[in-house]
Chains A and B, each alone.
Chain A
């Protein structure tokens, strides 16, 4: 084992820092807002894609002012910072014909377009797939909606939680006969966004081979339905699985149990081998011969899960958290701590892994942020910068990408076709920051030059 881990440790630590990102040269026009759309482009931005995030002047993305418990971080929404790292921020009024013209010009030079407005809205506005693909047939266009772009529910509104309810996943979390709980932290946005990223990546790969673009219709609720066992279960048994509390009904024993020192541990047994290891550790090897428990499918019957869980619960009560984790390591059965946010942010493992990093940003200074849940040995992702105020990159992008002159840009500013922040926290630059001296904002400087 020692040899293997010295090999892998070396392999991942040597990961080429100089790498420019796999998607350098891929441009993403991101018309999306909130979490669902922005997380699709975030995955690509981490891997070097040039993501141009378009917001409405003065309003900006609704998450800019969104936060928890009315706390802000350096006059900004900390979550917004995370959803939108490495992106270019431009603000174009989509309601103005000239604004639409700009969108078309940008789309012509882009590889991917992402939107998550209500279904049909971009088509109605004239910047949907049918219109954009006319000027750029190679475009990969992804529409992210609650229920998809066709079918009776298409106009029905959606947020993470609404999709959870419409998909039936809402009824899965909680103890039987008691209240049910939503999947926290907008799981109904983050998982669908990940599948959106997968689809865009597959489409990019296909385009590399054939030169063809395509349209992607991502539906939040459909992604949630894709991962549920209920449909197949119902069709086979005629019954729902329903809420099962802390029992994972596919594992026996399984649950979250309280230890002798008042901590919680999660324990779940997936197969006979692990069960044998657990019974040995508990000093109850006779259970591995008991016909109720010795075989996985038998052990999983509801009444048997209940029985074996009682035995495990008693045993956990007699041990400390540390003792159980040590035993799991030594004997090889699945058990883990129940971590909280504070433990996680202080976890050495995540630092060593590089999934949580210290970021130094020119506008916001130092902060701790998640980097990438996928660790690559040759092409690691990178946080180049956090977010910027509404419209911060207007001048930079319009000059560099569309070749507009300072005068033309000023004209667009005057007409309100492009715009900037208003005075709200999260939209404007932090008060300690002198935006007038910022080179990128003032037609000079190169983004990422300092990195």
Chain B
């Protein structure tokens, strides 16, 4: 005989299961059963249409690229992305290999090969050429006269002084697109002055004005220093821009037959793509001060501490902020902090009083409790006119280990497990984004020095 209490809990468990099958949505437009059914079909369609790259054409399968980088990942990554989109990319290295092979977190390597190089090795051909020898340069000319794109991420002027820069190569191959990647670029007086200074992500971040807006000036030294963004923020930005520039030039070439030279300065990539430094500087006529975890344009918008760890909270609009106050039971704060303009004041001390109030409330809850509170509030609010669509988002500030457990990325194959004959087992992030007809993809991982000499030398008629 089942007691009433047990029966109740069984029914509840079933109900919870039934509810959890239905996805939680945050828009009244998505809430209807009919719509959800249609979207479920759409999702199925997408999973089929976008799930795999197998057998699909490649956007750049008619494009050939030569990459010459030296200890510079901006060039390496740019070439890799073109290879992910299907270009035939040939990386030219000296006999001893690109020193980039050893640029790796804490020296961690597999048979001497660093992690970033392994990560960005996808789909390329690896050949060696001694550009300091006459034969090597002749071979390089022969190669460059048969390709569409040359990526030069060596010191500005070096290729020119070897007789294989844009000036010389464009005479052999007028349709050539020459992509120059360096700290200060290949033209201007400053570029000339600094041509001997090599590129790194950290120096590029610093020259872009990026660390100057990170960190907490109130911390004790050296924690108060301008702070490096903890990823290759400048190198990846510069690489993405190089690819975008190359694609513009390829489109132009297809229309007109014209090649051209493109210049990317890694020291300028973040500055000029994000643009905030320039605009702030021009309107305010002073630099930004570092604000720790505050934002200049939005509040609350950052990381907060609660009972058992870190949370990320964003309330990008006033209605979102109102929602947060409701969740925390602090409607009394609404009057003083009603509008975004109240919450992004230059009176930081005053703002900190709001921060302190929020911290106090947040400390009462665990991460799970707050995440659930916010989701439930938002799901309800999205169907309720009176709540004015308030949408405070609270998520756990995840560590990479936690991210690895997320089912969503497994469904989407965002992180790929590779079992490689030479390099063993490891994970790689998949190519982005997903595309229905010509998805970028990882076709093969191989990157031994000179591994493709025979094949490429033969294909392009180079002298052994």
Contacts and interface: CB of A to CB of B under 8 A. Distances in A.
B107 to A, nearest CB: 3
Interface stretch (B137-145, B191-199, B454-462): B191-199
Given A152-B407, A201-B244, A217-B435, A379 B107 contact: no
Contacts of B208: 339, 344
A282 interface: no
Interface in A53-84: 62, 65-71, 73, 78-79, 81-82
Contacts of A171: 397-400
B184 A161 contact: no
Contacts of A247: 228
B292 A181 contact: yes
Contact of B344 (A68, A217, A272, A296): A68
B12 interface: no
Contact of B115 (A121, A236, A256, A340): A236
A180 B106 contact: no
Interface size of A as a range: 35 or more
Interface in B271-294: 271-288, 292-293
Interface in B428-457: 428-438, 440
A31 interface: no
Interface size of B as a range: 35 or more
Interface stretch (A261-269, A415-423, A429-437): A261-269
Nearest to A274: B198
A195 B432 CA distance: 8
A205 B191 contact: no
Nearest to A227: B236
Contact of B227 (A241, A245, A305): A245
Contacts of A11: 166, 187, 261
A231 B428 contact: yes
Given A250-B114, A267-B202, A268-B201, 6 more contacts: A8-B166, A69-B345, A203-B437, A235-B425, A251-B201, A266-B206
B11 interface: no
Contact of A47 (B240, B248, B296): B248
Interface stretch (A99-107, A362-370, A393-401): A362-370
A120 B282 contact: no
Contacts of B255: 22, 208
Interface stretch (B1-9, B41-49, B126-134, B326-334): B41-49
A214 interface: yes
17 contacts: A2-B192, A13-B187, A149-B46, A157-B391, A170-B310, A173-B227, A175-B227, A182-B302, A197-B244, A208-B254, A209-B62, A248-B201, A333-B197, A338-B206, A340-B287, A341-B276, A369-B279
A371 interface: yes
A149 B393 contact: no
Nearest to A331: B196
A344 B50 contact: no
A264 B226 contact: yes
B38 A254 contact: no
Given A12-B263, A124-B39, A202-B59, A227 B232 contact: yes
B317 interface: yes
A147 B434 CA distance: 11
* Listed residue (A184, A245, A339) with the most chain B CB atoms within 10 angstroms of its CB: A184
A134 interface: no
Contact of A246 (B222, B344, B426): B222
